[in-house]
Chains A and B, each alone.
Chain A
Amino acid sequence: MSKKILATTSLAGCFGCHMSFLDIDERILELIELVEFNKSPIDDIKTFTKECDIGLIEGGCCNSENIEVLKEFRKHCKILVSVGECAIMGGLPALRNGISIKECLEEAYLNGPTVGENTEKIMPNDPELPMLLDKVYPCHEIVKIDYFLPGCAPRADLIWNALVALVTGNELELPYEVVKFD
Protein backbone atom coordinates (compact mmCIF):
# COMPACT_ATOMS: atom_id res chain seq x y z
CA MET A 1 0.00 0.00 0.00
CA SER A 2 1.44 3.35 -0.95
CA LYS A 3 1.66 5.91 1.81
CA LYS A 4 -1.12 8.42 2.23
CA ILE A 5 -0.01 12.00 1.79
CA LEU A 6 -0.66 14.43 4.60
CA ALA A 7 -0.62 18.24 4.70
CA THR A 8 -1.15 20.48 7.72
CA THR A 9 -1.40 24.19 8.37
CA SER A 10 -2.07 26.67 11.13
CA LEU A 11 -4.32 29.57 10.14
CA ALA A 12 -5.64 31.90 12.88
CA GLY A 13 -4.49 29.55 15.61
CA CYS A 14 -1.71 29.45 18.18
CA PHE A 15 0.10 26.36 16.90
CA GLY A 16 -1.14 24.62 20.03
CA CYS A 17 -2.88 21.97 17.92
CA HIS A 18 0.36 21.27 16.11
CA MET A 19 2.13 21.04 19.46
CA SER A 20 -0.53 18.61 20.58
CA PHE A 21 0.02 16.66 17.37
CA LEU A 22 3.69 16.36 18.33
CA ASP A 23 2.57 14.96 21.67
CA ILE A 24 2.07 11.63 19.91
CA ASP A 25 5.74 11.35 20.91
CA GLU A 26 7.54 8.25 19.60
CA ARG A 27 4.49 7.28 17.57
CA ILE A 28 5.72 9.86 15.06
CA LEU A 29 8.06 7.09 13.90
CA GLU A 30 5.05 4.87 13.24
CA LEU A 31 3.34 7.78 11.58
CA ILE A 32 6.04 8.30 8.99
CA GLU A 33 5.67 4.66 8.08
CA LEU A 34 2.00 5.36 7.38
CA VAL A 35 2.09 8.78 5.74
CA GLU A 36 4.26 11.09 3.73
CA PHE A 37 4.17 14.76 4.66
CA ASN A 38 3.69 17.41 2.02
CA LYS A 39 2.90 21.10 2.72
CA SER A 40 3.25 21.39 6.48
CA PRO A 41 5.21 23.21 9.17
CA ILE A 42 6.40 19.77 10.27
CA ASP A 43 8.66 19.37 7.25
CA ASP A 44 8.62 23.06 6.24
CA ILE A 45 7.34 22.45 2.71
CA LYS A 46 5.77 25.83 1.89
CA THR A 47 3.68 25.06 -1.19
CA PHE A 48 1.86 21.98 -2.37
CA THR A 49 4.06 19.79 -4.53
CA LYS A 50 1.64 16.85 -4.69
CA GLU A 51 -2.04 16.14 -4.46
CA CYS A 52 -2.73 15.10 -0.87
CA ASP A 53 -5.07 12.63 0.77
CA ILE A 54 -5.56 14.39 4.07
CA GLY A 55 -5.31 18.02 5.15
CA LEU A 56 -5.35 19.01 8.81
CA ILE A 57 -6.43 22.60 9.46
CA GLU A 58 -5.64 24.35 12.69
CA GLY A 59 -7.16 27.79 13.31
CA GLY A 60 -10.03 29.74 11.77
CA CYS A 61 -9.84 32.51 9.17
CA CYS A 62 -9.06 36.02 10.34
CA ASN A 63 -7.45 37.47 7.20
CA SER A 64 -7.37 37.15 3.44
CA GLU A 65 -4.29 34.92 3.48
CA ASN A 66 -6.05 32.38 5.73
CA ILE A 67 -8.83 32.22 3.16
CA GLU A 68 -6.40 31.65 0.31
CA VAL A 69 -4.48 28.95 2.16
CA LEU A 70 -7.68 27.21 3.18
CA LYS A 71 -8.97 27.23 -0.39
CA GLU A 72 -5.62 25.83 -1.56
CA PHE A 73 -5.97 23.02 0.95
CA ARG A 74 -9.46 22.27 -0.29
CA LYS A 75 -8.18 22.18 -3.84
CA HIS A 76 -5.28 19.83 -3.09
CA CYS A 77 -6.63 17.55 -0.34
CA LYS A 78 -9.22 14.81 -0.71
CA ILE A 79 -10.21 15.01 2.93
CA LEU A 80 -10.11 18.14 5.08
CA VAL A 81 -10.23 17.99 8.86
CA SER A 82 -10.86 20.97 11.14
CA VAL A 83 -8.61 20.39 14.11
CA GLY A 84 -9.42 22.18 17.36
CA GLU A 85 -11.68 24.91 18.67
CA CYS A 86 -10.37 27.75 16.45
CA ALA A 87 -10.84 25.87 13.18
CA ILE A 88 -14.25 24.64 14.26
CA MET A 89 -15.68 27.67 16.05
CA GLY A 90 -13.22 30.53 15.59
CA GLY A 91 -11.91 30.04 19.11
CA LEU A 92 -10.09 32.75 21.03
CA PRO A 93 -9.43 34.94 17.97
CA ALA A 94 -13.21 35.08 17.46
CA LEU A 95 -13.57 36.97 20.73
CA ARG A 96 -13.14 40.05 18.58
CA ASN A 97 -16.26 39.21 16.58
CA GLY A 98 -18.47 41.30 18.84
CA ILE A 99 -16.23 44.36 18.44
CA SER A 100 -15.91 46.46 15.30
CA ILE A 101 -12.71 46.01 13.33
CA LYS A 102 -12.08 49.75 13.62
CA GLU A 103 -12.15 49.59 17.40
CA CYS A 104 -9.85 46.54 17.39
CA LEU A 105 -7.27 48.22 15.14
CA GLU A 106 -7.36 51.46 17.10
CA GLU A 107 -6.91 49.59 20.36
CA ALA A 108 -3.99 47.63 18.95
CA TYR A 109 -2.16 50.45 17.19
CA LEU A 110 -3.30 53.77 18.65
CA ASN A 111 -4.99 53.66 22.04
CA GLY A 112 -3.93 50.49 23.83
CA PRO A 113 -1.83 50.79 27.01
CA THR A 114 1.06 48.93 25.39
CA VAL A 115 1.22 51.19 22.33
CA GLY A 116 4.46 53.19 22.26
CA GLU A 117 5.13 56.27 20.18
CA ASN A 118 2.80 56.43 17.17
CA THR A 119 2.48 60.16 16.60
CA GLU A 120 1.62 59.73 12.94
CA LYS A 121 -1.15 57.34 13.90
CA ILE A 122 -0.08 54.75 11.38
CA MET A 123 -1.78 51.40 11.16
CA PRO A 124 -0.24 48.55 9.13
CA ASN A 125 -1.30 49.24 5.56
CA ASP A 126 1.41 47.77 3.35
CA PRO A 127 -0.22 46.21 0.28
CA GLU A 128 1.88 43.09 0.87
CA LEU A 129 0.11 42.41 4.14
CA PRO A 130 -2.93 40.17 4.34
CA MET A 131 -6.19 42.10 4.75
CA LEU A 132 -8.09 41.62 7.99
CA LEU A 133 -11.58 40.19 7.70
CA ASP A 134 -14.59 41.78 9.38
CA LYS A 135 -14.71 38.82 11.75
CA VAL A 136 -13.04 35.50 12.36
CA TYR A 137 -14.73 32.71 10.39
CA PRO A 138 -14.79 29.02 11.20
CA CYS A 139 -13.32 26.97 8.36
CA HIS A 140 -16.54 25.22 7.44
CA GLU A 141 -18.13 28.54 6.46
CA ILE A 142 -15.47 29.01 3.80
CA VAL A 143 -14.96 25.53 2.32
CA LYS A 144 -16.44 22.11 2.82
CA ILE A 145 -14.89 20.39 5.83
CA ASP A 146 -15.21 16.63 6.06
CA TYR A 147 -14.36 15.96 9.70
CA PHE A 148 -14.01 17.87 12.95
CA LEU A 149 -11.69 17.05 15.85
CA PRO A 150 -12.79 19.06 18.88
CA GLY A 151 -10.63 20.22 21.75
CA CYS A 152 -8.36 23.06 22.72
CA ALA A 153 -6.11 21.54 21.78
CA PRO A 154 -7.45 18.11 20.81
CA ARG A 155 -5.49 15.49 22.68
CA ALA A 156 -2.62 13.82 20.90
CA ASP A 157 -4.46 10.51 21.21
CA LEU A 158 -7.50 11.92 19.45
CA ILE A 159 -5.40 13.26 16.58
CA TRP A 160 -3.50 9.98 16.41
CA ASN A 161 -6.60 7.80 16.48
CA ALA A 162 -8.27 9.93 13.83
CA LEU A 163 -5.27 9.87 11.53
CA VAL A 164 -4.81 6.11 11.88
CA ALA A 165 -8.50 5.59 11.19
CA LEU A 166 -8.38 7.80 8.09
CA VAL A 167 -5.24 6.12 6.78
CA THR A 168 -6.24 2.54 7.49
CA GLY A 169 -9.94 2.92 6.82
CA ASN A 170 -10.80 1.40 10.19
CA GLU A 171 -13.40 2.82 12.50
CA LEU A 172 -12.23 5.65 14.75
CA GLU A 173 -11.80 4.73 18.39
CA LEU A 174 -13.23 7.38 20.65
CA PRO A 175 -12.79 6.37 24.29
CA TYR A 176 -14.22 8.84 26.78
CA GLU A 177 -10.78 9.97 28.00
CA VAL A 178 -9.96 11.20 24.53
CA VAL A 179 -12.92 13.50 24.05
CA LYS A 180 -13.57 14.81 27.57
CA PHE A 181 -12.53 18.39 27.98
CA ASP A 182 -12.20 19.02 31.71
Chain B
Amino acid sequence: MIRFLKLYRVFVAQFIKNLMEYRIDFLTGATSFLIGQVTNILFITIIFNQIPSLAGWKYYEIMFIYGYSLLPKGIDHLLTDNLWNVAYFIVRKGDFDKYLTRPINPLMHVIMEKFQFDALGELITGIILVIYSSIKLKLTPGFGEVAVILITIVFGTLIFTSVKIACCAIAFWIKRSGSILQIFYMSSDFARYPITIYNKGVRFIISYVIPFAFTSFYPAAYLLRGGNGILCAGKTMLISTVIFGISIIIWNRGISAYESAGS
Protein backbone atom coordinates (compact mmCIF):
# COMPACT_ATOMS: atom_id res chain seq x y z
CA MET B 1 0.00 0.00 0.00
CA ILE B 2 2.80 2.42 0.88
CA ARG B 3 4.49 1.54 -2.37
CA PHE B 4 1.24 2.27 -4.16
CA LEU B 5 0.95 5.73 -2.59
CA LYS B 6 4.56 6.49 -3.45
CA LEU B 7 3.97 5.54 -7.05
CA TYR B 8 0.75 7.51 -7.11
CA ARG B 9 2.65 10.62 -6.05
CA VAL B 10 5.08 10.19 -8.90
CA PHE B 11 2.26 9.76 -11.40
CA VAL B 12 0.35 12.80 -10.13
CA ALA B 13 3.46 14.96 -10.18
CA GLN B 14 4.04 13.91 -13.76
CA PHE B 15 0.50 14.76 -14.61
CA ILE B 16 0.58 18.19 -13.02
CA LYS B 17 3.62 19.05 -15.11
CA ASN B 18 1.68 17.98 -18.15
CA LEU B 19 -1.21 20.15 -17.08
CA MET B 20 0.93 23.23 -16.64
CA GLU B 21 1.94 22.87 -20.23
CA TYR B 22 -1.60 22.67 -21.56
CA ARG B 23 -3.31 25.23 -19.35
CA ILE B 24 -5.91 26.30 -21.91
CA ASP B 25 -6.98 22.71 -22.41
CA PHE B 26 -7.61 22.36 -18.73
CA LEU B 27 -9.65 25.55 -18.69
CA THR B 28 -11.81 24.50 -21.64
CA GLY B 29 -12.43 21.08 -20.12
CA ALA B 30 -13.34 22.34 -16.65
CA THR B 31 -15.46 25.20 -18.02
CA SER B 32 -17.44 22.85 -20.21
CA PHE B 33 -18.43 20.67 -17.27
CA LEU B 34 -19.18 23.78 -15.22
CA ILE B 35 -21.48 25.19 -17.90
CA GLY B 36 -23.29 21.87 -18.19
CA GLN B 37 -24.11 22.00 -14.50
CA VAL B 38 -25.05 25.68 -14.52
CA THR B 39 -27.55 25.00 -17.33
CA ASN B 40 -29.26 22.32 -15.27
CA ILE B 41 -29.38 24.59 -12.23
CA LEU B 42 -30.97 27.35 -14.33
CA PHE B 43 -33.52 24.81 -15.51
CA ILE B 44 -34.49 23.94 -11.93
CA THR B 45 -34.59 27.63 -10.98
CA ILE B 46 -36.89 28.53 -13.86
CA ILE B 47 -39.27 25.72 -12.94
CA PHE B 48 -39.29 26.81 -9.31
CA ASN B 49 -40.29 30.33 -10.30
CA GLN B 50 -43.64 28.74 -11.11
CA ILE B 51 -44.11 26.16 -8.40
CA PRO B 52 -43.50 26.21 -4.62
CA SER B 53 -42.28 22.62 -4.34
CA LEU B 54 -41.58 19.54 -6.44
CA ALA B 55 -43.12 16.34 -5.08
CA GLY B 56 -42.83 17.85 -1.61
CA TRP B 57 -39.21 19.03 -1.98
CA LYS B 58 -38.40 22.73 -1.79
CA TYR B 59 -36.04 24.61 -4.09
CA TYR B 60 -33.00 24.57 -1.81
CA GLU B 61 -33.58 20.94 -0.90
CA ILE B 62 -33.51 20.02 -4.58
CA MET B 63 -30.33 22.11 -4.96
CA PHE B 64 -28.80 20.30 -2.02
CA ILE B 65 -29.58 16.85 -3.47
CA TYR B 66 -28.32 17.93 -6.88
CA GLY B 67 -25.11 19.35 -5.44
CA TYR B 68 -24.55 16.29 -3.28
CA SER B 69 -24.87 14.01 -6.32
CA LEU B 70 -21.99 15.85 -7.97
CA LEU B 71 -19.53 15.13 -5.15
CA PRO B 72 -18.99 11.36 -5.55
CA LYS B 73 -19.44 11.67 -9.29
CA GLY B 74 -16.83 14.42 -9.46
CA ILE B 75 -14.30 12.61 -7.28
CA ASP B 76 -14.65 9.46 -9.34
CA HIS B 77 -14.32 11.49 -12.53
CA LEU B 78 -11.15 13.11 -11.16
CA LEU B 79 -9.48 9.85 -10.20
CA THR B 80 -10.55 7.05 -12.53
CA ASP B 81 -11.20 8.71 -15.87
CA ASN B 82 -8.71 6.46 -17.63
CA LEU B 83 -11.25 3.62 -17.46
CA TRP B 84 -13.11 5.35 -20.28
CA ASN B 85 -10.03 5.06 -22.45
CA VAL B 86 -9.70 1.37 -21.64
CA ALA B 87 -13.33 0.79 -22.61
CA TYR B 88 -13.15 2.81 -25.80
CA PHE B 89 -9.63 2.49 -27.17
CA ILE B 90 -6.92 0.81 -25.14
CA VAL B 91 -8.16 -2.78 -25.30
CA ARG B 92 -9.22 -2.42 -28.91
CA LYS B 93 -5.86 -1.17 -30.03
CA GLY B 94 -4.07 -3.89 -28.13
CA ASP B 95 -2.37 -1.33 -25.93
CA PHE B 96 -3.57 -3.06 -22.79
CA ASP B 97 -0.58 -5.42 -22.95
CA LYS B 98 1.51 -2.64 -21.47
CA TYR B 99 -0.32 -2.83 -18.15
CA LEU B 100 0.08 -6.58 -17.92
CA THR B 101 3.83 -6.46 -18.28
CA ARG B 102 4.45 -4.03 -15.43
CA PRO B 103 4.98 -5.05 -11.81
CA ILE B 104 1.89 -3.22 -10.55
CA ASN B 105 -1.69 -4.38 -10.39
CA PRO B 106 -3.10 -3.53 -13.85
CA LEU B 107 -6.26 -1.94 -12.45
CA MET B 108 -4.23 0.27 -10.11
CA HIS B 109 -1.98 1.22 -12.97
CA VAL B 110 -4.87 2.16 -15.25
CA ILE B 111 -6.41 4.34 -12.57
CA MET B 112 -3.15 5.97 -11.52
CA GLU B 113 -2.13 6.89 -15.01
CA LYS B 114 -4.57 9.74 -15.48
CA PHE B 115 -5.78 12.53 -13.32
CA GLN B 116 -8.75 14.25 -14.93
CA PHE B 117 -8.83 17.87 -13.84
CA ASP B 118 -11.90 18.55 -16.00
CA ALA B 119 -13.81 17.06 -13.09
CA LEU B 120 -13.13 20.20 -11.03
CA GLY B 121 -16.00 21.80 -12.97
CA GLU B 122 -18.40 19.31 -11.43
CA LEU B 123 -16.76 19.19 -8.02
CA ILE B 124 -16.67 22.94 -7.51
CA THR B 125 -20.32 23.31 -8.57
CA GLY B 126 -21.25 20.51 -6.19
CA ILE B 127 -19.40 22.02 -3.23
CA ILE B 128 -20.85 25.49 -3.82
CA LEU B 129 -24.38 24.11 -4.17
CA VAL B 130 -24.17 22.01 -1.03
CA ILE B 131 -22.71 24.80 1.11
CA TYR B 132 -24.99 27.50 -0.24
CA SER B 133 -28.18 25.47 0.10
CA SER B 134 -27.17 24.30 3.61
CA ILE B 135 -26.86 27.93 4.67
CA LYS B 136 -30.23 28.76 3.12
CA LEU B 137 -31.83 25.74 4.79
CA LYS B 138 -30.06 26.55 8.09
CA LEU B 139 -28.61 23.06 8.31
CA THR B 140 -26.23 22.58 11.23
CA PRO B 141 -24.45 19.28 10.85
CA GLY B 142 -23.36 17.64 14.07
CA PHE B 143 -20.74 14.99 14.54
CA GLY B 144 -23.04 12.21 13.32
CA GLU B 145 -23.96 14.07 10.15
CA VAL B 146 -20.34 14.81 9.28
CA ALA B 147 -19.54 11.12 9.69
CA VAL B 148 -22.41 10.21 7.35
CA ILE B 149 -21.22 12.80 4.82
CA LEU B 150 -17.68 11.42 4.79
CA ILE B 151 -18.74 7.78 4.65
CA THR B 152 -21.34 8.25 1.93
CA ILE B 153 -19.04 10.34 -0.23
CA VAL B 154 -16.25 7.79 -0.05
CA PHE B 155 -18.50 4.80 -0.64
CA GLY B 156 -20.63 6.70 -3.16
CA THR B 157 -17.48 7.32 -5.17
CA LEU B 158 -16.77 3.60 -4.92
CA ILE B 159 -20.20 2.87 -6.44
CA PHE B 160 -19.35 5.02 -9.47
CA THR B 161 -15.92 3.47 -9.81
CA SER B 162 -17.31 -0.06 -9.49
CA VAL B 163 -19.91 0.49 -12.20
CA LYS B 164 -17.16 1.85 -14.44
CA ILE B 165 -14.79 -1.04 -13.71
CA ALA B 166 -17.49 -3.63 -14.44
CA CYS B 167 -18.56 -2.03 -17.74
CA CYS B 168 -14.99 -1.40 -18.73
CA ALA B 169 -14.05 -5.04 -18.11
CA ILE B 170 -16.61 -6.16 -20.69
CA ALA B 171 -14.19 -4.77 -23.27
CA PHE B 172 -11.87 -7.74 -22.51
CA TRP B 173 -14.42 -9.99 -24.20
CA ILE B 174 -15.92 -7.71 -26.84
CA LYS B 175 -12.93 -5.35 -27.43
CA ARG B 176 -14.92 -2.17 -27.10
CA SER B 177 -17.41 -1.46 -24.33
CA GLY B 178 -17.47 2.32 -24.32
CA SER B 179 -21.12 2.48 -25.27
CA ILE B 180 -22.15 0.06 -22.53
CA LEU B 181 -20.25 2.18 -20.05
CA GLN B 182 -21.94 5.26 -21.48
CA ILE B 183 -25.42 3.79 -20.92
CA PHE B 184 -24.75 2.80 -17.32
CA TYR B 185 -22.98 6.04 -16.52
CA MET B 186 -25.78 8.16 -17.97
CA SER B 187 -28.30 6.34 -15.79
CA SER B 188 -26.77 8.17 -12.83
CA ASP B 189 -28.69 11.22 -14.09
CA PHE B 190 -31.76 9.72 -12.46
CA ALA B 191 -30.11 10.05 -9.06
CA ARG B 192 -29.68 13.82 -9.29
CA TYR B 193 -33.30 14.43 -8.40
CA PRO B 194 -35.44 13.16 -5.50
CA ILE B 195 -36.26 9.57 -6.39
CA THR B 196 -39.77 10.07 -5.05
CA ILE B 197 -40.69 11.59 -8.42
CA TYR B 198 -40.09 8.29 -10.22
CA ASN B 199 -42.33 5.26 -10.49
CA LYS B 200 -41.60 2.05 -8.60
CA GLY B 201 -39.66 0.34 -11.38
CA VAL B 202 -37.17 3.18 -11.83
CA ARG B 203 -36.83 3.57 -8.07
CA PHE B 204 -35.99 -0.10 -7.64
CA ILE B 205 -33.41 -0.05 -10.42
CA ILE B 206 -31.51 3.00 -9.17
CA SER B 207 -31.61 1.72 -5.60
CA TYR B 208 -30.66 -1.92 -5.98
CA VAL B 209 -29.60 -2.76 -9.54
CA ILE B 210 -27.41 0.22 -10.48
CA PRO B 211 -27.43 1.75 -7.02
CA PHE B 212 -26.71 5.38 -7.87
CA ALA B 213 -29.46 6.54 -5.50
CA PHE B 214 -27.06 5.69 -2.66
CA THR B 215 -24.51 8.16 -4.00
CA SER B 216 -26.84 11.11 -3.64
CA PHE B 217 -30.50 10.89 -2.79
CA TYR B 218 -30.46 8.64 0.28
CA PRO B 219 -27.63 10.41 2.12
CA ALA B 220 -28.93 13.84 1.10
CA ALA B 221 -32.45 12.97 2.24
CA TYR B 222 -31.05 11.85 5.59
CA LEU B 223 -29.14 15.11 6.02
CA LEU B 224 -32.20 17.16 5.04
CA ARG B 225 -35.00 15.33 6.74
CA GLY B 226 -33.27 13.29 9.42
CA GLY B 227 -33.77 9.58 10.04
CA ASN B 228 -31.52 6.74 10.97
CA GLY B 229 -27.98 7.86 10.14
CA ILE B 230 -26.32 4.56 10.97
CA LEU B 231 -28.75 2.68 8.73
CA CYS B 232 -28.19 5.17 5.90
CA ALA B 233 -24.40 5.03 6.09
CA GLY B 234 -24.45 1.27 6.68
CA LYS B 235 -26.64 0.58 3.66
CA THR B 236 -24.42 2.70 1.43
CA MET B 237 -21.31 0.89 2.71
CA LEU B 238 -22.85 -2.53 2.27
CA ILE B 239 -24.19 -1.89 -1.22
CA SER B 240 -21.03 -0.28 -2.49
CA THR B 241 -18.87 -3.06 -1.06
CA VAL B 242 -21.03 -5.68 -2.74
CA ILE B 243 -20.99 -3.94 -6.10
CA PHE B 244 -17.26 -3.31 -5.81
CA GLY B 245 -16.70 -7.01 -5.13
CA ILE B 246 -18.78 -7.98 -8.16
CA SER B 247 -16.92 -5.54 -10.38
CA ILE B 248 -13.54 -6.86 -9.26
CA ILE B 249 -14.64 -10.42 -10.04
CA ILE B 250 -15.75 -9.34 -13.52
CA TRP B 251 -12.48 -7.45 -14.03
CA ASN B 252 -10.32 -10.40 -13.00
CA ARG B 253 -12.25 -12.81 -15.19
CA GLY B 254 -11.92 -10.31 -18.01
CA ILE B 255 -8.17 -10.11 -17.62
CA SER B 256 -7.85 -13.88 -17.82
CA ALA B 257 -10.07 -13.93 -20.91
CA TYR B 258 -8.11 -11.10 -22.50
CA GLU B 259 -6.38 -11.88 -25.73
CA SER B 260 -4.32 -9.12 -27.15
CA ALA B 261 -5.83 -7.38 -30.14
CA GLY B 262 -3.91 -5.84 -32.98
CA SER B 263 -0.66 -7.01 -34.45
Q: Do A and B bind each other?
A: no
Point out residues on B near A: beta carbons under 8 Å.
Answer: none
